[in-house]
């Protein structure tokens, strides 16, 4: 049986560290408030002039190095982001050009914090049907240009950071490793619980002077609704994925959860009965990097030497849309 295995992985965060204290100088907030509500201590912000695809390119170089591959070995690119370089064309096209290659297919996935899981599922399907062999899957975000650092936007601005992660998926004939099972969900009723309507095609023009002066250019979040649904859906999808794939909780080496909020993840871990040391985190350092969150954490775990061939990992994500999902991966 053909399965999709991770042949190479890499990640990159921009060098500029922004602490909770740094944000306190911009808005009415405090290290204590941010840490107690989210677990986040600092995040990285890209400098002016840096694109989302620039962060991605660094992560891709590391993933190619890890796989011992060249850009020309790739057959397809999938790019998950909610902060593309421009509204169109998609980031996968920009990235392809920056990698110095052309011709291979490029696809952008706009599924926010679950974008990487959706992208992984698409890549896995392409590989298992034999359509493509080596697929680059990227999650990358530059949030720091599109957040309101005044008191009005403080509930969102303190939570997010910039970063990128990339994996190269390739087929393996030895069917016991790789992506074993994925399930994906969405509930569009909650689209406006976490959204940004800067590009509203019903406005004519979509972004006139009035719109620019108003708050439509900033992301908006109903934090309590997001929190409640995240906990419920992550627990549900964890339980469903294990049941449908016949895996027991004790078989899982690590849960790699989306890095939005420590309180959310602690509640989920407690409810599903997974020991806290198996539920990995790096949001303290990076905040919520949306589509980059899972590959960034996976790459850090791998480079820390914590993963051995055959380890069973469960990737979990929830985000705007609402979208959520789970993927079982045998390393």
Measured CA to CA, the distance from residue 316 to residue 114 in angstroms comes to: 8
Measured CA to CA, the distance from residue 45 to residue 14 in angstroms comes to: 6
Q: Which stretch binds ligand COA (CB under 6 A): 53-61, 116-124, 185-193, 220-228?
A: 220-228
* 223 binds ligand COA per the rule CB under 6 A: yes
Rounded to 10 degrees, the C-alpha dihedral 208/115/143/83 comes to -40
CB of 221 to ligand COA, least distance (A): 6
The active-site residue out of 93, 111, 113, 143 is 113
The residues, ordered by sequence, that sit 6+ positions from 156 with a Cβ below 8 Å of its Cβ are: 147, 148, 218, 219, 220, 221
* 323 binds ligand COA per the rule CB under 6 A: no
Please give the distance of CA 33 from its chain centroid, rounded to a whole number: 24
Task: Return the number of other C-beta atoms located less than 10 Å from residue 65's C-beta.
Answer: 11
Using CB under 6 A, count the residues that bind ligand COA: 18
* 182 binds ligand COA per the rule CB under 6 A: no
SS3 141: strand
Looking at beta carbons only, is 7 or 233 nearer to ligand COA? Answer: 233
134 is catalytic: no
What x-and-dash track marks residues 242-261 binding ligand COA by CB under 6 A?
A: ------------------xx
Q: Which stretch binds ligand COA (CB under 6 A): 175-183, 185-193, 206-214, 218-226?
A: 218-226
266 is catalytic: no
* 29 binds ligand COA per the rule CB under 6 A: yes
**CA within 13 Å, CB half, 72:** 0
Six-digit token string for 155:
């509930």
93 is catalytic: no
Report how far apart the first and last C-alpha atoms of the chain are (Å, whole number). Answer: 16
Looking at beta carbons only, is 94 or 116 nearer to ligand COA? Answer: 116
Q: Which residues bind ligand COA (CB under 6 A)?
A: 29, 33, 37-38, 113, 154-155, 158-159, 223-224, 226-227, 230, 260-261, 288, 319
Active site (catalytic) residues: 113, 258, 288
């Amino acid at each position: 049986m053909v399965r999709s295995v991770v042949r190479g992985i890499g990640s990159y965060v921009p060098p500029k560290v922004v602490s909770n204290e740094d944000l306190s100088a911009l808005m009415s907030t405090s290290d204590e408030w941010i840490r107690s509500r989210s677990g986040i201590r600092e995040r990285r912000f890209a400098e002016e002039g840096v694109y989302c695809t620039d962060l991605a390119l660094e992560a891709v170089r590391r993933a190619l190095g890890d796989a011992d591959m060249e850009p020309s070995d790739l057959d397809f690119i999938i790019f998950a982001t909610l902060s593309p370089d421009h509204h169109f064309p998609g980031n996968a096209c920009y990235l392809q050009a920056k990698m110095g290659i052309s011709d291979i297919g490029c696809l952008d996935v706009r599924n926010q914090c679950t974008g990487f899981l959706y992208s992984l599922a698409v890549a896995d399907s392409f590989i298992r049907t034999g359509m493509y062999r080596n697929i680059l899957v990227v999650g990358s975000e530059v949030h720091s240009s599109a957040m309101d650092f005044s008191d009005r936007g403080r509930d969102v601005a303190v939570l997010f950071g910039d970063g990128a992660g990339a994996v190269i998926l390739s087929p393996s004939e030895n069917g016991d490793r790789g992506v074993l099972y994925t399930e994906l969900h969405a509930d569009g009723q909650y689209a406006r619980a976490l959204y940004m309507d800067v590009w509203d095609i019903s406005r004519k023009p979509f972004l006139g002077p009035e719109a620019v002066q108003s708050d439509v250019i900033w992301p908006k979040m109903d934090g309590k609704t997001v929190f409640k649904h995240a906990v419920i859906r992550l627990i549900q999808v964890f339980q469903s994925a294990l049941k449908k794939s016949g895996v027991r909780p004790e078989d899982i080496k690590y849960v790699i959860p989306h890095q939005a909020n420590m309180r959310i993840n602690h509640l989920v871990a407690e409810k599903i009965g997974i020991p806290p040391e198996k539920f990995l985190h790096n949001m303290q350092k990076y905040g919520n990097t949306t589509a980059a969150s899972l590959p960034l954490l996976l790459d850090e775990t791998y480079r820390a030497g914590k993963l051995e061939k055959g380890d069973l990992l469960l990737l979990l994500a929830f985000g705007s849309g609402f979208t959520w999902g789970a993927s079982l991966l045998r390393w």
